[in-house]
Structure 1
Amino acid sequence: MKRIWYILTIVLISAPAIAQTTAGQLLRQGMYKEDIEGDLKGAIIVYERILSRFPDDRKSAAMSQLRIGCCQEKLGLNEAAASYRSVIANFSDQTQVVKAARVKLARLNGRGEGLSTEEKAALVDYYIKRKYVDLMSDLSADGSKIAFTDWTTGNLVVKDVKSGQITPLTHKTWDESREFAYWKVWSRDGKRIAYVWYGGIDSAQLRVISVDGGNPQIVHAHPGMYLQPKDWTPDGNYIIAKLTRLKEADPTEGPGQKVVRLSLSSGSYEILYAVDGMARGTECSRDGQHIVFGNKLGDEAVGGKVYLYSFTDRSVIQVPGLEASDSPCWSPDGRFVLYRVMTGQGANLVALEMDKGKAVGRPIVIGTNLAETVRRRAGVTNEHLNAYLRKSEALLLSAEKRAMESFDEEFTANVLDTAWDVLAWEGPNVYGFSSCGRYSLSARPGYLRYEPDPMTSLGGNPMFCDSYSYWYYPALVLCRMFKGTQWCLEAKGTIRLLSGADNQG
């Protein structure tokens, strides 16, 4: 009996103690788990118990909500920002706690983790406008103008995005010269454009021209060398370019392609670092101290990694983040590095804040399935895609019935022979360039000019983004069926393939 009485005594004493636990006592328990034991998940459970059991204890409830946010932030959870916002929205009478929540939320915002939906959308829009366009065109820093090649002449032109007005900066025709403007990059102040003036393997000049007109400056011209401009330094004195030797390599430079800093005043360059041929994205930071770039490693089939080059110590470090990432750029204010990450569901856009060459916080996904976003913004619908596919299938069937044993095509008539099938995209495209689906037999008699099809996969199915989610412009397909078990193709002319927006080469 004595033993039973002892047990009952403990029960009778302990039960009232539990019943009388206050919000303040629970709060102290949660703080002990958080600050002393380091049990953040256990602390969150205690704080949530306070919110459910003592909702009328405004002071304890507000502090519990704030502490939940602190634990979530320490755990690296995205929910931290929402918890701080909950304090601000639901406990306005607890001024000191609300003030603390505002400070913590501001710090999260500074690291990008508390970016609002609108801020994320603005960064996605900025990235798409600069990355999901023709790779040889370039949008000015303020987004008001785009530089590209007018493939009806080969000239470098500038288009005002708002008005649509096009201003040529070079002046020639195809009959006068087969040279043309290639890769273009705007200076930071929007007053100059660096570009390649391409005339063949032994004639690829890197030039700079003012948007106000005048003669271009030939910055670099060397037979067998190709300098592709990638960006300008903020001071406008140098161009960051990718160097490719088209003939024999210089043994003093080592193998592979190089990224160089080219002086506009002297035309000389210094090698900064080596890159793979599939490297995508090279951009100088706003303070001119770093270059962010993507680089494919070894035998990686998809994507690669993002790196940061420092002008101070000439080091190259990998930007911490996710695998299969590429095509980086800086955000407009220079706070974030934006880059794509390949997933099984497409390409996501990630933001990572950088401070003096070091990552702050962790990568934050700010946009998903970029390819679908690009199609939606361009107005490309499933109806467009299905109509194009049905037309391609119908053309294939009709072409089989009209297949010929042999044929000659001189392209001397103004009307295309009916044996040719024309498959043109009739839906919208991103910038409204006029050459999509256009061909000409009269622009130059004896020549067929048309835009090759860079976006159609086998079977005529349009794929507006390739496996890397790069955007391609809709174009034109010309096809002709011929039959027989023995045949040969005799080329009687020259096929010149030129990539680029408004391509009619």
Structure 2
Amino acid sequence: MKSYQFIVVVLFLAFSLVSVVYGQQAAEQLYQSALYKEEIEGDLDAAIKIYETVIKQYPENRPVAAKTQLHIGLCYEKLGLKEAQKAYQKVVDKYPEQTEAVKLANEKLSLLFRVGSVVGKGDSTLKMTKIFESSEKSGFLSPDGKKLALIGEEGDIWIRDIASGKETRLTQTPSYKYWCFWSPNSELIAYLDAVGGLYVVSAKGGELRSLIKSDSDFIKEGNYVWPTGWSSDNQMILCQVSRRGLCAIPLSGGEWKDIFKLPAQYSDKDFNLLTLSPNGKFVAYESTKSGNSDIYVIPADGGNSIQITKHPAPDTEPTWSFDGKWIAFITSRSGTNEIWATRISPDGNPEGESLQIFRGFSGSRSYYNWTIDGKIAISKSAGVSNIFVRELQTGKETQLTNILTFESHPRWSPDGSQIAFISRRDGESDLWTIPSKGGEANKVTVNVPNPNATPRYISRPSWLPDGKSLAFGGIFGEDRGIWTVPTSGGIPEKMKSDFGPLIENCDVSPDGAYITFDYIGVKEGNPIKNSRNPERDIYVIPFKGGSPQRITMIAKSGLSFISPSWSPDGKMIAFRSTDVFEGNEGKNAVELWVCKFPEGEPKAITEKMKGNIPCLSWSPDGKTIIFSVVEDNKEQICTVPSDGGEIKKMDIEGFYPDFSPDGISIVYGKRLKSSFEYWLIENFLPK
């Protein structure tokens, strides 16, 4: 009888445990569906209803309930309603033990009380309006708020009339266009092409005006300009010029005018993104000279800098309002990228506390700008990518991760049990691992140096042979190089080297003796001897330190070699090349190469082709190289024999593929949603 009672108790406890686990999973899944409605589809009313269902059905799951209640407040705030304040207060009152959610709720309450930005319907209210969504075009709103300048996947500029929805193609040239800079009168657009050439086109169409040609000596010598504004009379483009300062470039041609010269003892990084105030008296910029990235203002005719922001989080990308009374900037003060603004006095000093304008501003192609009437327009990348595994023989596809963020660059561990990948699930790029057969993901880069520094970049990871550590190219503010980190989450350790590295991709040899990387020579610091700039080359260095050996000795202007990958036997290195000048002319400009190591000459194994090939991987037998290309706005996985031959499409949609050690499966990233949302924010400034 006692045995029977014991079995009943055990079964009851087991059933209860399963019920609890199921409830936790169900609550999280429902929360994620609401998050998708809020952040991806922008349907705030629908998101609120689902969030309310989560709290009603799963009140015992307090961590999920607390963050759900917080997001109800975020939705109401975006809608500009008083309910936002009540929703945030509920987080504080009902979930005091959920410290992170309470902290964020208190920050929002403090902001709302200070700005008075949530009011009842019918009053002047903080307002966010989605004005457009595109699956392929990113871009910028004109200062008058009537037109969007869009850059399509083919690289040309389109104009979209907001009221009618009509789109007109402005350019039809082979070069890809980067960034659009509207003139204050909304009649002209300046843009950069793929190699840094500067051009101007009328918003009504017509002939292009070339201010800096793509094939000019200025570009070929590694110089650059970055437009940061226009003169108030619409006749000059204001640009930061490398190693010179802020210059005004006349549309009519002629000599450039120096607005602000870099002091002799400083470099571009000390005065970054120089932007002139509308009255021409001050220059705003970002700098890390205080040890952290902050915003400064300096008189245009020289003098002492005034520090505008002082916060442990990095503050970047300053932009003046058209009346010159505010500077907006990007920051991550509450854990995710946001837009804030600081009032500026007539003498260039900050007035009062900075105000938060928008939260959740992230993505590699997310932009913002002011309108003439004091609104802020946002172009927000809303891409979602997760990690998938496919068995090659059966075609069975398994989704390893399921989260509303961008995850990519998967790499299989040497024993096949784990997959490392890059994820933005915590707001920044970090390395994670996950069991290759599914399970809970583990964050690896939990103790990175300078966690608040910008820029922050982590490259595709490479496993060390013991499967216990990862190597990666990393940039953490001014601290950059090749790093190794234990997969258990220890402190990343930088490889010892005597050169100032600017490294994007690296790969450890199968025996762990060497590491190969791509590298661009820098004109400051201590670059590798005879390295090129602005081109990249492939190098190999002993893993324990030594002199780097350059593998690619083809010194053609504009030709770069990128993304090296070791063969399984460690005797070959595969990589790709890109000729930026040929690509800018619309020609086929990308090739795949292999090179024997330690002695060998690079050999092209493909014809030149168009598109971008981000990374390469080898099959375990060394006979095949796998990669992805973009076709019809979708990434397609392809293979090519490692000794050259025909490229074959695998009929698999994905990117950054990698073979399993047994060759049975591949892992890859796959886009589940790719779009650009355009929002207009108004009534956020105090009256």
- Superposition TM-score tier, normalisation by shorter sequence: 0.3 to 0.5
Larger Rg: 1
Q: Which has the higher contact order (CA 8 A, sep 6+)?
A: 2
Q: Of Structure 1 and Structure 2, which has the larger fraction of its residues in helix?
A: 1
TM-score (structure 1 length as normaliser): 0.47
